[in-house]
Structure 1
Protein backbone atom coordinates (compact mmCIF):
# COMPACT_ATOMS: atom_id res chain seq x y z
CA UNK A 1 0.00 0.00 0.00
CA UNK A 2 2.76 2.50 0.84
CA UNK A 3 4.54 1.72 -2.47
CA UNK A 4 1.38 2.63 -4.39
CA UNK A 5 0.91 5.88 -2.45
CA UNK A 6 4.61 6.79 -2.87
CA UNK A 7 4.41 6.21 -6.63
CA UNK A 8 1.12 8.07 -7.11
CA UNK A 9 2.39 11.10 -5.17
CA UNK A 10 5.38 11.30 -7.51
CA UNK A 11 3.46 10.84 -10.78
CA UNK A 12 2.34 13.85 -12.85
CA UNK A 13 -1.38 14.62 -12.85
CA UNK A 14 -3.20 16.39 -15.69
CA UNK A 15 -5.46 18.17 -13.17
CA UNK A 16 -2.35 19.80 -11.68
CA UNK A 17 -0.92 21.11 -14.98
CA UNK A 18 1.62 18.27 -15.18
CA UNK A 19 2.99 18.71 -11.67
CA UNK A 20 3.08 15.92 -9.13
CA UNK A 21 1.28 16.13 -5.77
CA UNK A 22 4.73 15.95 -4.13
CA UNK A 23 5.95 18.97 -6.16
CA UNK A 24 2.85 20.96 -5.23
CA UNK A 25 3.27 20.19 -1.54
CA UNK A 26 7.04 20.76 -1.21
CA UNK A 27 7.56 23.26 -4.07
CA UNK A 28 10.56 21.39 -5.52
CA UNK A 29 10.98 18.78 -8.28
CA UNK A 30 10.82 15.07 -7.53
CA UNK A 31 14.04 13.04 -7.57
CA UNK A 32 13.16 9.98 -9.69
CA UNK A 33 16.62 8.43 -9.33
CA UNK A 34 15.52 6.42 -6.30
CA UNK A 35 12.31 5.05 -7.84
CA UNK A 36 12.28 1.27 -8.30
CA UNK A 37 9.68 -1.17 -9.66
CA UNK A 38 7.80 -3.28 -7.12
CA UNK A 39 9.39 -6.75 -6.66
CA UNK A 40 12.66 -5.89 -8.45
CA UNK A 41 15.90 -7.40 -7.07
CA UNK A 42 17.36 -5.43 -4.16
CA UNK A 43 20.71 -5.72 -2.41
CA UNK A 44 20.63 -4.18 1.09
CA UNK A 45 23.93 -3.76 2.91
CA UNK A 46 24.82 -6.20 5.68
CA UNK A 47 26.57 -4.11 8.33
CA UNK A 48 29.90 -5.28 9.76
CA UNK A 49 28.51 -6.45 13.13
CA UNK A 50 26.07 -8.75 11.29
CA UNK A 51 28.54 -10.29 8.82
CA UNK A 52 29.90 -13.79 9.39
CA UNK A 53 33.59 -13.09 8.92
CA UNK A 54 36.04 -11.09 6.87
CA UNK A 55 35.14 -12.68 3.52
CA UNK A 56 31.37 -12.85 4.04
CA UNK A 57 28.95 -11.23 1.61
CA UNK A 58 28.45 -7.48 2.06
CA UNK A 59 24.90 -7.55 0.67
CA UNK A 60 22.01 -10.00 0.57
CA UNK A 61 19.79 -10.54 -2.47
CA UNK A 62 16.19 -9.72 -1.57
CA UNK A 63 13.04 -8.45 -3.29
CA UNK A 64 12.02 -4.78 -3.19
CA UNK A 65 8.54 -4.46 -1.69
CA UNK A 66 8.22 -0.75 -0.98
CA UNK A 67 9.57 2.41 0.54
CA UNK A 68 10.15 3.28 4.17
CA UNK A 69 9.08 6.81 4.96
CA UNK A 70 9.99 8.40 8.20
Structure 2
Protein backbone atom coordinates (compact mmCIF):
# COMPACT_ATOMS: atom_id res chain seq x y z
CA UNK A 1 0.00 0.00 0.00
CA UNK A 2 1.42 3.37 -0.98
CA UNK A 3 1.35 6.00 1.74
CA UNK A 4 2.27 9.63 1.80
CA UNK A 5 2.22 12.26 4.50
CA UNK A 6 1.61 15.94 3.92
CA UNK A 7 1.42 18.45 6.73
CA UNK A 8 0.62 22.12 6.22
CA UNK A 9 3.26 24.49 7.53
CA UNK A 10 1.24 25.24 10.67
CA UNK A 11 -0.58 21.92 11.03
CA UNK A 12 -2.02 21.10 14.41
CA UNK A 13 -3.27 17.63 13.50
CA UNK A 14 -2.32 14.61 11.45
CA UNK A 15 -3.78 11.19 10.77
CA UNK A 16 -3.14 7.75 9.29
CA UNK A 17 -5.68 5.55 7.51
CA UNK A 18 -5.01 1.78 7.59
CA UNK A 19 -7.15 -0.97 6.03
CA UNK A 20 -7.05 -3.84 8.53
CA UNK A 21 -7.09 -4.59 12.29
CA UNK A 22 -3.53 -6.01 12.38
CA UNK A 23 -2.07 -2.88 10.81
CA UNK A 24 -4.32 -0.78 13.06
CA UNK A 25 -3.10 -2.49 16.25
CA UNK A 26 0.51 -2.02 15.20
CA UNK A 27 -0.18 1.60 14.30
CA UNK A 28 -1.85 2.18 17.68
CA UNK A 29 1.28 1.03 19.50
CA UNK A 30 3.55 3.15 17.31
CA UNK A 31 1.14 6.09 17.48
CA UNK A 32 1.08 6.04 21.28
CA UNK A 33 4.87 5.87 21.43
CA UNK A 34 5.22 8.74 18.94
CA UNK A 35 2.55 10.78 20.72
CA UNK A 36 4.37 10.38 24.04
CA UNK A 37 7.76 11.15 22.50
CA UNK A 38 6.45 14.32 20.82
CA UNK A 39 4.38 15.33 23.86
CA UNK A 40 1.14 15.54 21.87
CA UNK A 41 -2.38 15.33 23.22
CA UNK A 42 -5.10 13.07 21.88
CA UNK A 43 -5.46 9.32 21.47
CA UNK A 44 -5.39 6.97 18.48
CA UNK A 45 -8.90 6.08 17.34
CA UNK A 46 -10.16 3.18 15.24
CA UNK A 47 -13.48 3.66 13.44
CA UNK A 48 -15.44 1.03 11.50
CA UNK A 49 -13.62 -0.75 8.71
CA UNK A 50 -10.70 1.67 8.64
CA UNK A 51 -8.31 2.69 11.36
CA UNK A 52 -7.90 6.42 11.73
CA UNK A 53 -5.30 7.95 14.00
CA UNK A 54 -5.77 11.63 14.77
CA UNK A 55 -3.88 13.90 17.13
CA UNK A 56 -4.17 17.55 17.96
CA UNK A 57 -2.02 19.88 20.00
CA UNK A 58 -1.91 23.47 21.08
CA UNK A 59 0.37 25.62 19.01
CA UNK A 60 2.21 28.52 20.62
CA UNK A 61 4.06 29.99 17.67
CA UNK A 62 4.81 33.54 16.79
CA UNK A 63 3.34 34.84 13.52
CA UNK A 64 5.41 33.93 10.47
CA UNK A 65 5.62 37.55 9.29
CA UNK A 66 9.39 37.63 9.93
CA UNK A 67 10.08 34.50 7.88
CA UNK A 68 11.17 34.95 4.28
CA UNK A 69 11.37 32.40 1.53
CA UNK A 70 14.54 32.33 -0.61
Q: When the two structures are superposed, what TM-score results if normalisation uses the length of structure 1? A: 0.23
Name whichever structure is richer in strand by fraction: 2
Higher relative CO (Cα under 8 Å, sequence separation at least 6) belongs to 2
